[in-house]
Amino acid sequence: MKRFQIDEGFWELFPEAKIGVVIASGIDNQTYDLSAYETLLWEAQRDAQCFLGESEFSANPAVAVWREAFQKFKTKKGARSSIESLLKRVQSEKPIGTINPLVDIYNSISLRFGLPCGGEDVDAIVGDLRLTMAEGGEDFIPLGEEESSPPYEGELVYKDDAGAVCRCWNWREAKRTMLSETTTNAFLCIESVDPAREADFHTAVSELAHLVSTRLGGSSRFYVLDKTSALKEDPWISLEA
């Protein structure tokens, strides 16, 4: 059985963080109305304007809080949180196009709530999945590339038994475990490091699970992990139905 766990070292760095996890099983990620997802993303980009009120981009709280977080662990030069990348496109008025339903759904939630979201194909994960510090040198081929770009020692990563699946916490996804139209079982996550946004975070996790189940069928269950819940006697979450 494949499982997910957050290592104790993560909570030592980010004791107030919260990780939302959605496990989707038996979904249909191929049959969809393209225009419906274009509308979903367009509306989300419109809503995301509320996170861009400051004249200086990096001064916006949804960006600044992650700039500060990324200073607490080893990162690749220039690496930024995934929500910063999305908001930069919104600020530049560059449309965010559709990719596939699962990715479109989590991008729409990310934009609407100003929080990083990501996901992996459960069937492509080897062994267990962990949010942990990299040993350094783990195999990692970035999405859209062909050559390995291993994480640094001490870099915060999602990794499985075969290598890293997302570098610099939520910066760059791996090609090996990417969500595609043939994905039927998925691990989705939302991350927060801002205690002041706890209510928004909980709503975002719930709405992500709801959107996946109502649009793609199958079954979805979600978890909200914090330092207390993740360090309980059995901290593992099953990735399978």
pLDDT of residue 209: 98
pLDDT surpasses 80 at 33: yes
- Residue 78 has a CB neighbour count (10 Å cut-off) of 7
CA angle 109, 115, 120 (to 5 degrees): 70
pLDDT in tens, 67-97: 999 999 999 999 999 999 999 999 999 999 9
pLDDT surpasses 70 at 127: yes
pTM above 0.85, yes or no: yes
pLDDT of residue 229: 82
Q: Are 235 and 5 in contact (CB under 8 A)?
A: yes
pLDDT surpasses 70 at 129: yes
Whole-number average pLDDT of the chain: 96
For the residues 116-131, what does the mean pLDDT come to? Answer: 98
pLDDT of residue 235: 78
User: Residue 208: phi, psi to the nearest 5?
Assistant: -60, -50
H or E segment to which residue 204 belongs: helix 198-216
pLDDT surpasses 80 at 55: yes
Decide: helix, strand or coil at residue 54: coil
Q: Are 36 and 105 in contact (CB under 8 A)?
A: no
Amino acid at 204: A
Q: Which domains does the chain have, with CATH numbers?
A: 3-130+173-238 (3.50.40)
pLDDT in tens, 153-211: 999 999 999 999 999 999 999 999 999 999 999 999 999 999 999 999 999 999 999 99
pLDDT of residue 172: 97
